Amino acid sequence: MEGYIVSLIIFTATFALFGLGLNLQWGYTGLINFGHVAFMAVGAYTTTLLSLSGVPLILATVLGAGLAAALGLLIGLSTLRLREDYLAIVTIGVSEMLRLVAVNEEWLTRGTFGIQRFPLPLATLNPRLPVRVGMVMVLTLVVGLGFWQVWVWLQQRLKGVPRQAITTSSLAMLGYLGSLGLLLYGVGVGASQLKISDLPDWALGLGLLITVIGIGWVYLWLGDRVLSQLPGATAGLAVASGAFCLVFGVWIYRFAASALYHYSRNPSKTGLMFLSVLLVAIVFWALQRLVRSPWGRVLKAIREDEEVAKALGKPVFWYKLQSLMLGGFIAGLAGALYAWQLTTVYPDNFRPQITFNAWTIVVLGGAGNNVGTLLGAALFLTYENLTRFVLQDIIPLSDSQLGAFRIMVIGLLLMVLMVWRPQGILGKKEELTLGR
């Protein structure tokens, strides 16, 4: 379990980083980048190849991210003068081109054989007790800062709502979400029992479909008609989600801290986990500072209306280029993490699907919101992992069918989100209703 959680954390951190890069480009600057995975591929290949040929890891990583940024420069110089939808076409083309180059240029990338046995960060480390305790403390600090963010957010949500209303609505929301969770869990357990019995597949599938749709319908009705009528319903939802974050966070934190304490049990993964969490925390902090600075203000202005930014003396092209390059740099770092986690780099790791995972993460959390991107990454990776290992025991589908099914469900969830909360989970609703 511990090892599994550790790799879940690494993947989440990797995709959080990857999503943060896209959020800078699209969420803040409005650049439609459908080839984000290209930056990741450049970062991954450069880092691993350089480190294989003896370049120190830190330098190799920085060079990898730098080369990803250079790719941003190249794409930017040639296409940023195009209208935004053309940028989307060009970027998706570039990412596929790069993947095909990686498949075919075997002298450089070893093609479909993939790159293996490259050095991993902190893998040979055998830290003494004080160092391990220090690492646990750093982790605690990062997690604590995360909780503090949630707390600040919660405070904003609760401002001006009477205490009495908060208590009732929070309890109601906790009951609502808790019972939904228990119910779905029960359905899962029941179905997994039925699956090993000799019930025909079609009957189980149909039964499951009807049950899930039924539960969904009842709960949507309850939420819409009953819960949303409660005074302070949104505040209650905020408290319930905050409580869930706290419990889930502490649960995960326990595994991470224990893994760090017992570093030598699995040095390469534990070190990578520590590194990736730290990297996400630093990049997140830096980005938050940037988007709140005058620099970030110019990016947002470009997203809203380029002509105005131009008329007010901002060199729009130059800023778009910076955004594309910086987002590419961050994605390049994510690429290094990705390679270290996979321990083998194949061209197939960089299919367009990965780009759209990042889009799902950013849209889910709310575009133009870095906290939302982190949340989106956590939700997305949790979903990915839950469904990968749980669904096969429940749903009567073959493995390949399940793979497609899981993506279909993501599409469905995104559609529900677009209807119910088009601004994303943490997006601001007011922003949608504003006229141009």
Partner 1 sequence: MVDSHGRQPLLAANALSKSFGGIRAVDNASLEVLPGSITGLIGPNGAGKTTLFNLLCRFVQPDSGQIIFDGVSIQHLQPHDIAQQGMVRTFQVARVLSKLSVMENMLLAAQHQAGERFWNVWLRSSTVRQQEREQREQASAILESVGLAHMAQDYAGALSGGQRKLLEIARALMVRPKLVLLDEPAAGVNPTLINQICDHILRWNQEGLTFLIIEHNMDVVMSLCDRVWVLAEGRNLASGTPTEIQQNAQVLEAYLGQ
Q: Which residues bind partner 1 (CB under 8 A)?
A: 289-290, 293-295, 297-298, 300-301, 303-305, 307-316, 322, 326, 430-431, 434-436
Are residues 6 and 256 in contact, defined by beta-carbon separation less than 8 angstroms? yes
**Element spanning 116, H or E:** strand 115-116
Q: 27 or 271, CB closer to partner 1?
A: 27
Which amino acid, residue 384? E
Residue 262 and residue 291: Cα distance in Å, rounded? Answer: 38
What is the number of helices (H) and of strands (E) in the chain?
Answer: 17, 2
What is the smallest separation between the CB atom of 423 and partner 1, expressed in angstroms?
Answer: 11
Coil vs helix vs strand at 115: strand
Residue 396 and residue 291: Cα distance in Å, rounded? Answer: 47
- Closest by Cα among 369, 361, 364, 376 to 288: 369
Q: Is 43 exposed, middle or buried (0-12, 13-18, 19+ CB in 10 A)?
A: buried
What is the smallest separation between the CB atom of 289 and partner 1, expressed in angstroms?
Answer: 6
Q: 307 or 399, CB closer to partner 1?
A: 307
What is the smallest separation between the CB atom of 31 and partner 1, expressed in angstroms?
Answer: 16
Residue 114 and residue 45: Cα distance in Å, rounded? Answer: 10
What is the smallest separation between the CB atom of 300 and partner 1, expressed in angstroms?
Answer: 6
Q: 186 or 315, CB closer to partner 1?
A: 315
What is the smallest separation between the CB atom of 294 and partner 1, expressed in angstroms?
Answer: 3
- Closest by Cα among 289, 276, 273, 253 to 370: 289
What is the smallest separation between the CB atom of 436 and partner 1, expressed in angstroms?
Answer: 6
Q: 246 or 286, CB closer to partner 1?
A: 286
What is the smallest separation between the CB atom of 70 and partner 1, expressed in angstroms?
Answer: 17
Q: 163 or 436, CB closer to partner 1?
A: 436
Q: 286 or 390, CB closer to partner 1?
A: 286
Residues 6+ apart with CB under 8 A from 149: 371
Q: 419 or 434, CB closer to partner 1?
A: 434
